Amino acid sequence: MKAAKGGYVRAMYNISLCFSFGEGLTRNHQLARKRMKRAADCGRSKAQFEHGLALFSGTFVEGIKEEVVLSPAHALSLIAVGEDD
């Protein structure tokens, strides 16, 4: 958790998975999405893929306004970037 808070992108991604599945942390989908978005914004391709899928499928977290207004084309572009990894 300390590494993720310190800006280590891989840790951000891994923590988002832990929140998502409840592995070692209490399951919290809102925190999972926020951490995943942060990792995606920092360039982690796996996070971009996962975040893009969530946007495309319409599973977003209330309170993250950017996710509500993004177009399907933007979601697909994140998915395409993430597939390269």
Residue 63 confidence class, pLDDT cut points 50, 70, 90: very low
Residues 11/4, Cβ–Cβ less than 8 Å: yes
Residue 68 has pLDDT above 60, yes or no: no
Q: Calculate mean pLDDT across residues 66-70.
A: 48
- Quick: pLDDT tens for 1-34: 888 788 888 899 999 999 988 989 999 988 888 8
Whether pLDDT at 81 is above 70: no
Helix/strand/coil for 8: coil
| Cβ contacts of 3 within 8 Å, gap of 6 or more | 11
Cβ contacts of residue 8 below 8 Å, gap of 6+? none
Phi-psi region of 64 (alpha: psi -120 to 50; beta: other; left: phi over 0): beta
Domain positions in the chain:
2-83
